[in-house]
Amino acid sequence: MNRNLITAAAQMGPISKHESRSDTVGRLIEMMRESKARGCELVVFTEMALTTFFPRWMIEDEAELDSYYEIDMPSAATQPLFDEAKKLSIGFYLGYAELIIKDGLKRRFNTSILVDSNARIIGKYRKIHLPGHYEPQPNRDFQHLEKRYFEPGDLGFPVFKAFNGHMGMAICNDRRWPETYRVMGLQDVEMVMLGYNTPFGHVGDQAMDSLTLFHNHLSMQAGAYQNATWVVGTAKCGNEEGSRMGGQSVIIAPSGEIVAQSVTVEDEVITARCDLNFGKRYKETIFDFEAHRRPEHYSLIVERSGAVAPD
Ligand code: CDV
């Protein structure tokens, strides 16, 4: 029996520093409409989909910094996206910078939410793997100050029963870490949704940087296959305020195969019919965790291959 979830990845081209929230939300609504017209029940937007990728700059003015964050979700500016989702009866994943005030202190997270087709927020995730630096680095055209502007997520990697399946979320750099998928894989995740902003030249090592797009797909395809889950990876890409970012948004099957991929670095919707039962053939054979996974032996292997000197 199929459990088809027709899904869109709504890639975004650059968002300029001066683009208003409502203009950006208008772009998201356009892509939501296109997704619906193409039969989708779920649309996956990108990481920090409401603003330019501001961690590329050192921002000392607190009011300016705060202007990139959402305190309310939905807010006056994002309410039209929720209204449209309800009208169209379509769910969505949305990434944004979140500011909360707790015990009089500001706390900042790189967050995503899962919204059902009634426009109710049914899941939240806060990015755990924050790349980059706390302090600005010398001799760089662009900084990557996520460690300065966010604290690591405090919600773990939850899996939500929604859309007739088991849905998980991650954000950008999380996709490079096997733990991300495995923690959700152990909860029988069937689809991992994630958005990313991946600037070229981040590492500063030409050989590594030239593999940016390869590593993008490698990590998501491996995570999908090894955990028998769909992965929907949605980029923000193109030349944003002089910083070039990779595209190649993808929808990946539990086999690890790419079934849809974007071809531009602009706003672009890609779609696929995702059968949430598809992972079962892997979960019941090669990746039957119960039968074949042996965590009780892993510490021994680490000890033998690492610190212990050969006899
Ligand atoms: N937004 C990100 O997390 N970007 C990182 C870059 C900095 C390496 C990524 O993993 O794509």
The structure's pTM equals: 0.97
pLDDT value at position 304?
Answer: 61
Strand extents, DSSP E, the chain: 4-11, 42-44, 91-102, 105-115, 121-126, 159-162, 165-171, 191-197, 230-236, 238-240, 243-245, 250-252, 258-261, 268-275
pLDDT value at position 99?
Answer: 98
Domain 4-305 CATH superfamily: Carbon-nitrogen hydrolase (3.60.110.10)
**Residue ID of nearest Cα to ligand 1 atom 6:** 198
pLDDT value at position 309?
Answer: 59
pLDDT value at position 2?
Answer: 81
Instruction: Give yes or no for residue 21 CB within 6 A of ligand 1.
Output: no
Dihedral (C-alpha) 40, 95, 75, 121: value to the nearest 10 degrees?
A: 60
In angstroms, the CA 224 to CA 206 distance is 28
pLDDT value at position 298?
Answer: 87
DSSP designation for 48: T
Q: What is the DSSP string of 166-193?
A: EEEEEEGGGGG-HHHHHHHHTTT-SEEE
Question: What parts of the chain have a pLDDT lower than 70?
Answer: 1, 300-311
Closest ligand 1 atom to Cα of 129: 3
Instruction: Give yes or no for residue 147 CB within 6 A of ligand 1.
Output: no
Name the one residue in this structure whose structure tokens are 């208003």.
20
Asked if 28 and 115 touch (Cβ cutoff 8 Å), the reply is no
What ranges do the domains of the chain cover? 4-305
Nearest to 112 by CA among 292, 213, 244, 234: 234
The tokens for 16 are 């300029």
pLDDT digits (tens, 9 = 90+) for 235-259: 999 999 999 999 999 999 999 999 9
Nearest to 193 by CA among 231, 248, 235: 231
In angstroms, the CA 70 to CA 279 distance is 36
In angstroms, the CA 183 to CA 202 distance is 27
Closest ligand 1 atom to Cα of 196: 1
DSSP designation for 54: G
pLDDT value at position 130?
Answer: 98
pLDDT value at position 307?
Answer: 62
